[in-house]
Amino acid sequence: MAEVSEILMSVLSTIRVPRPGDRVHKDECALSFATPESEGGLYVCMNSFLGFGSKYVERHHLRTGQRAYLHITRTRKTQKEDENNSGSGDPPKKKPTRLAIGIEGGFDVEREQYEEEVKVVLFPDRQEVTKEDLATMPDVVRDRVMLSINGLMAADSVSHTLQVQQWDGEVRQESKHAADLKQLDNGIKIPPSGWRCEVCDLQENLWMNLTDGKVLCGRRYFDGSGGNNHALEHFQQTGYPLAVKLGTITPDGADVYSYEEDDMVLDPKLPEHLTHFGIDMMTMEKTERTMTELEIAVNQRVGEWEVIQESGTALKPLWGPGLTGMKNLGNSCYLNSVVQVLFTIPDFQDKYVSNIDKILDEAPSDPTQDFKTQVAKLGHGLLSGEYSTDPGDDPSAEHRDDQVGIAPRMFKNLVGRGHPEFSTNRQQDAQEFLLHFINMVERNCRSGLNPSEAFRFLVEERIVCQQSQKAKYTQRVDYIVQLPVPMDQATNTEELQEAERRREEAEAAGTPPPPIPRAKIPFAACLAALSEPETLTDFWSSAVQTKTTATKTTRFASFPDHLVIQIKKFTFGLDWVPKKLDVSIDVPDTLDLSALRATGQQPGEELLPEVAPPPLMTPDVEVKGILGSHGNEEDDSLYSPLLSPVLDDSTVIQLCEMGFPLEACRKAVYYTGNTGIDAAMSWVMGHMEDPDFAAPLVLPGSSSAPGTTPTESVSEEHLATIVSMGFSRDQATRALRATSNVLERAVDWIFSHLDDLESMDVSEGGRSEGASEGSRDPPPGPRVRDGPGKYELFAFISHMGTSTMCGHYVCHIKKDQQWVIFNDQKVCASEKPPKDLGYLYFYRRVAE
């Protein structure tokens, strides 16, 4: 023991006590998914507070020289079956009565199911020091080490913080309308019972408007149950903001909803507001479930396999390499589904999994913050099979359907950091996350293999002026094919019309509506809608020097190795309210898109002159530069800073009335050339995620701030990203300058100005690098792979729910000719894969 004491004394200066703000990783290994519950436990460095599994702690010791680690092991407590346990295998829990986590009455926290054991371990000989051993050591050693141990154990782990362990979903804010709510003196008095909707006579899910006392039914749910939206429609007609749910009123309060604030709220004056309509809170009794109780019921059902199993079939659980489940971290099923599919693609396997040892050896001092390390860790966790063993082999396993799986906490934190949506625990759109992740891969693969190239392809757009019959060709890069859903092409139109007729009759009679059949849309019709010519009105033709009509056709200029197809089920109604199309599409197992290959300029076809439309400007402003000029060394902008745009005020006002920021509305109108509300609205919906969405309108190439110049330095990170796509540094620089240094806009700009870039001969430093005096090679385009347009389906992601912001995602992947369903932690053989109900489809090229 004296020897151990001397070792501790020698490393005492490296043992730190956690301070507020320190990141303590005591629940998960930085390089694998080992946890304190894993075999061998977790070793937490007592200097950096990074955690390592038994497989990787030696590596960290050798790289850093750190010797003192806190070894944490957790053993599952033995618990008797609770009489309320349904046999699901979950430990007995109290029935939650509060929509909260880590709060009395809320959902249980899993940590309480384990017993912990901690000890100090000294490397390289792995000498163990228990708390009892420390008691016999000198005070200076014992006190310092115990302070560190106690600090580590008391500190909030990073993973726990990310999970928001203590969360209360019942905390509501006071409504801004409550204090001065207007109530009409209309003589209405509400009886204590026997309520009915004043429009359809429904007797449940009823809400009383606190302004005029109208009793109306609530919203209709996605399955047709609930109400008929009459309370909501009443608000839309009158603007009266607050309503109380009848049947939830008790002396302690009631459910109050604010339509304008779109949330459950508090009404401090609720007794007074109810008394106005003859309701005495003190005598009321609860007769309906509150919204909180309804949400709790939904949350308790989230993990039930029966909810999403295929046609009631008992599915066979699977385990092994490539069959690893992923824990749901709270609405993270969108992420789970996407990465499960990505790591079946050879490019991602080769980049991140095949050379994982090299990646881990080159990892920075804090690997939890390194993109490549965390993606490699995730890929290895999914494909190795280390976390996908048959629970039947473990005598402590409580049921065979659950595998250990992995919890991608570090990965989710890293890829979502700084993003307004993916950094939250809210449900997200799987397609948006896929593009977000591809963008991160692009930024982090500036050299070497770039796996996102597997999806990258070129789109050719051909626009023909109908007056002159001259054409214009442009190319852009894309990663996903967005397939429209032509509802008018449904093959069961008569069935849908009959169902709508019965629904209207039921609504008029005040009876529950009948089930609505699903529209059946042929895949060929979706493909035809994508490829058919689009009519462009108000197209400015350089041939006739005026606005006219044109047609635009879209074709593939290249075919990627892996093709992603998004079915555009999520759309907007006439009131711009998001809605989901309930459709069944006969998506084929094999796909031949050869007929959609772009052909380029046709023999004898004339091109539109390269003349840009006249600039938007006020008549009394001097025109210093002409829109579309290529510039010179002093001014290489495409727009003169002195041009003052004239915007269609009516369109700007319409957009502002929809709730969009003024500057965003001005940009939408400007960048769509005053062509109307539809074009401007499309621009808004396509740029809402831009970091400068609400920033003031800055003309491309002009100064974005006082003192800036056209030759202002651009972001090296943005430059490297564009260069990694195959463009020269000069081309990337020009694109960034023309778009105020905004990466996403620069990428769009560069693909729409390929012809301009070919004529570039002057850069910020003079002549372009590598250019000869007499000639110049054509500038390289984006690196794209090309080949036959024949594909086979190997995966699809499905969504259940009424919106991308809610519901649940699962994915099906074809492995060894067998379809497998991945539903978070559940991995099973699929008996009837619902290929007609998918949202994202993944195809791979068929080798000829």
In tens, the pLDDT along 751-760 reads: 666 655 554 4
Helix/strand/coil for 829: strand
CA separation for the pair 300, 302 (Å, rounded): 6
Confidence of residue 616 (pLDDT cuts 50, 70, 90): very low
- Largest CA-CA distance found in the chain, in angstroms, rounded: 96
Q: Which has the minimum average pLDDT: 23-32, 39-48, 441-450, 543-552?
A: 441-450
Tell me the one-letter amino acid at 821.
I
- Catalytic option among 45, 333, 526, 828: 333
Above 90 in pLDDT, residue 610? no
The answer to whether 658 touches 576, Cβ cutoff 8 Å, is yes
Token output for 207: 């809400």
CA separation for the pair 242, 209 (Å, rounded): 6
Instruction: Find out whether 399 is annotated in a ligand binding site.
Output: no
Above 50 in pLDDT, residue 383? yes
Instruction: Find out whether 25 is annotated in a ligand binding site.
Output: no
Per cent of the chain over pLDDT 90 is 42
* Fold: same for 1-78+112-169 and 649-687: no
Which tops the pLDDT comparison, 614 or 145? Answer: 145
Residue with tokens 């054509």: 778
Above 50 in pLDDT, residue 777? no
Confidence of residue 394 (pLDDT cuts 50, 70, 90): low
Nearest to 338 by CA among 422, 435, 423: 435
Q: Where are the alpha helices (DSSP H) in 425-466?
A: 430-444
Nearest to 48 by CA among 28, 22, 12, 27: 22
Res 612: pLDDT: 54
Mean pLDDT of 592-607: 93
Q: Which has the minimum average pLDDT: 196-200, 602-606, 772-776, 779-783?
A: 772-776
Res 614: pLDDT: 53
Above 70 in pLDDT, residue 761? no
Strand 562-567 relative to strand 481-483, pairing: parallel
Mean pLDDT of 236-246: 94
The three-point CA angle 618-624-626 to 5° equals: 85
Above 90 in pLDDT, residue 464? yes
Instruction: Find out whether 665 is annotated in a ligand binding site.
Output: no
CATH topology of domain 649-687: Helicase, Ruva Protein; domain 3 (1.10.8)
The three-point CA angle 152-155-160 to 5° equals: 120
Mean pLDDT of 728-755: 74
- Tens digits of residue pLDDT in 48-95: 999 999 999 999 999 999 999 999 999 877 654 444 444 444 444 555
Mean pLDDT of 341-353: 97
Instruction: Find out whether 200 is annotated in a ligand binding site.
Output: yes
CA separation for the pair 7, 121 (Å, rounded): 11
Res 277: pLDDT: 94
Q: Which CATH class is domain 206-300?
A: alpha beta
Res 188: pLDDT: 93
Q: Which residues contact 423 (CB under 8 A, 6 or more apart)?
A: 416, 417
403 φ, ψ to 5°? Answer: -105, 165
Token output for 827: 């991995």
Token output for 709: 């110049």
Above 50 in pLDDT, residue 583? yes
Confidence of residue 765 (pLDDT cuts 50, 70, 90): very low
Which tops the pLDDT comparison, 320 or 773? Answer: 320
Most confident of 88-92, 340-344, 469-473: 340-344
CATH topology of domain 1-78+112-169: Herpes Virus-1 (3.30.40)
Res 241: pLDDT: 95
Q: Which residues contact 761 (CB under 8 A, 6 or more apart)?
A: 767, 768, 771, 776
Res 307: pLDDT: 35
Above 80 in pLDDT, residue 656? no
SS3 for 287-324 is CCCCHHHHHHHHHHHCCCHHHCCCCCCCCCECCCCCCC
Q: Active-site residue 808, yes or no?
A: yes
Instruction: Find out whether 473 is annotated in a ligand binding site.
Output: no
Instruction: Find out whether 843 is annotated in a ligand binding site.
Output: no
- Catalytic option among 273, 808, 811, 812: 808
* Helix (H), strand (E) at residue 552: strand 546-556
- The domain spans of the chain are 1-78+112-169, 206-300, 302-391+401-454+481-486+558-610+734-761+781-847, 649-687
Instruction: Find out whether 45 is annotated in a ligand binding site.
Output: no
Instruction: Find out whether 639 is annotated in a ligand binding site.
Output: no
Q: Active-site residue 828, yes or no?
A: no
Mean pLDDT of 756-770: 38
CA separation for the pair 591, 580 (Å, rounded): 25
Res 382: pLDDT: 96
For the chain, give me the number of helices (H) and strands (E)? 23, 28
The answer to whether 72 touches 42, Cβ cutoff 8 Å, is yes
Q: Where are the alpha helices (DSSP H) in 644-787?
A: 649-657, 662-671, 677-687, 716-723, 729-738, 743-751, 754-758
CATH topology of domain 302-391+401-454+481-486+558-610+734-761+781-847: Cathepsin B; Chain A (3.90.70)
Instruction: Find out whether 319 is annotated in a ligand binding site.
Output: no
Q: Which residues contact 545 (CB under 8 A, 6 or more apart)?
A: 611
Which tops the pLDDT comparison, 93 or 833? Answer: 833
Above 60 in pLDDT, residue 46? yes
Q: Tell me the average pLDDT of the chain.
A: 79
Q: Calculate the alpha carbon distances from 257 to 145, 264, 293 in Å.
A: 53, 4, 15
Res 762: pLDDT: 30
Most confident of 122-136, 149-163, 304-318: 122-136
Res 653: pLDDT: 78
Token output for 518: 């699903």
Above 70 in pLDDT, residue 559? yes
Instruction: Find out whether 828 is annotated in a ligand binding site.
Output: no
